[in-house]
């Protein structure tokens, strides 16, 4: 490379804020790559959150009243960063990602579509893994302002920096530019990871480049042990939600995420064994 931007292979590491939502296995895969690059001294990471559920809401759906499935983890994330710093948040996301995606699916799958642990429970376990107090989850869930804090941050990244999904890398120590990706199916080896970083950084600093994309089938899953199982769970819940979105249904005209929240509420109000609706 003849004209490298600061930090892309020479000199000081480039400071990048990594935006995540624990719901995306692709995002977790990219975060593993980013940590590998950080370990080689090419980048200094900070961590931020963006809610994929909120991104997908229709304009007339109020995110303040959305009971987001990944809300407990995102609320814990923002509170933990406030209390213990961005490095602690990075460790929390690593622990959460490992528990969610880098663990074997439960016994019984694929014969049975074994349900996943709640995001409350898995967030408590992730805090325990990094020697933080699991009670933080209960504190944030008792405080509605913790969801407002997530929404404020989400609004900042989407409205001020143009972020629209995860993973997003916000270069310039979080000041921009913000770039979605790189979307990766598996973790690169170290040499490839560093070469990829140089390419991504070079492109990010060329504001006239907007997109490069390879076809990715909807059925493709990230190369992570739990991705097929969790993907199957999500597809099943999407199908239940779509049934509510049909003409005349209770969620006609609603967004998929809004309808999925309704499916979760219905499941919580029906005792096990009874069929909903």
Partner 1 sequence: MEKVRLHFDPRCPWCYQANRWAVRVQALGEIDLDWGLYCLEVANLPGGADPVALGETARSASALRTAAAILERESSKAVGRFYVALGSRVWEASTPMSDRDLAVTESAEEAGFDRSIVADAMADPRTWTEVLRQHRELVDKGGIGVPTMVLDGGDGPAIFGPVISELPGDEDSVELWKTVSWLARYDNFYELKRRRTAQPDLPGWKVPPSRLTFGSRPWMPPVPDR
Q: Write out the residues near partner 1 by the rule CB under 8 A.
A: 1-3, 23-24, 26, 52, 55-56, 162-165, 177-186, 188, 192, 195-196, 199-200, 202-204, 206-216
Consecutive H or E run containing 46: strand 43-49
Shortest approach of partner 1 to residue 180 CB, angstroms? 5
- Closest to partner 1 by CB, 64 vs 214, is 214
Cβ–Cβ under 8 Å, residues 26 and 170? no
- Closest to partner 1 by CB, 166 vs 240, is 166
Shortest approach of partner 1 to residue 264 CB, angstroms? 18
Q: What DSSP designation does 220 have?
A: -
Q: How many CA atoms lie within 13 A of 168 on its CB side?
A: 25
Shortest approach of partner 1 to residue 192 CB, angstroms? 7
**Which residues fall within 8 angstroms of residue 161, CB to CB, at 6 or more apart?**
170, 176, 177, 178
Shortest approach of partner 1 to residue 132 CB, angstroms? 28
- Closest to partner 1 by CB, 13 vs 162, is 162
- Closest to partner 1 by CB, 164 vs 246, is 164
- Closest to partner 1 by CB, 117 vs 195, is 195
For the record, the structure tokens of 205 come out as 């600093």
Consecutive H or E run containing 227: helix 227-244
Q: What DSSP designation does 177 have?
A: -
Shortest approach of partner 1 to residue 164 CB, angstroms? 5
Instruction: Report d(CA 44, CA 15) in Å as an integer.
Output: 5
């Amino acid at each position: 490379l003849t004209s490298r931007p600061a930090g892309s292979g020479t000199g000081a590491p480039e400071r990048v804020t990594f935006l995540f939502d624990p719901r995306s296995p692709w995002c977790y895969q990219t975060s593993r790559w980013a940590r590998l690059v950080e370990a080689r001294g090419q980048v200094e990471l900070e961590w931020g959150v963006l809610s994929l559920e909120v991104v997908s809401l229709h304009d007339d759906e109020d995110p303040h009243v959305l009971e987001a499935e990944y809300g407990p983890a995102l609320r814990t994330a923002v509170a933990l960063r406030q209390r213990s710093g961005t490095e602690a948040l990075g460790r929390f996301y690593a622990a959460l990602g490992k528990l969610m995606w880098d663990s074997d699916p439960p016994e019984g799958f694929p014969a049975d579509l074994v349900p996943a642990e709640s995001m409350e429970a898995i967030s408590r376990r992730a805090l325990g893994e990094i020697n933080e107090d699991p009670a933080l989850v209960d504190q944030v869930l008792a405080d509605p302002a913790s969801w407002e804090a997530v929404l404020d941050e989400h609004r900042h990244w989407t409205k001020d920096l143009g972020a629209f999904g995860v993973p997003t890398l916000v270069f310039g120590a979080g000041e921009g530019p913000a770039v979605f990706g790189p979307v990766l199916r598996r973790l690169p080896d170290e040499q490839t990871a560093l070469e990829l970083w140089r390419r991504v950084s070079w492109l990010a600093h060329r504001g006239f480049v907007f997109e490069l994309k390879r076809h990715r089938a909807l059925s493709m899953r990230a190369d992570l042990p739990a991705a097929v199982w969790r993907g199957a769970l999500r597809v099943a819940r999407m199908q239940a939600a779509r049934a509510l979105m049909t003409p005349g249904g209770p969620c006609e005209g609603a967004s998929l995420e809004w309808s999925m929240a309704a499916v979760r509420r219905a499941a919580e109000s029906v005792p096990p064994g009874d069929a909903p609706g």
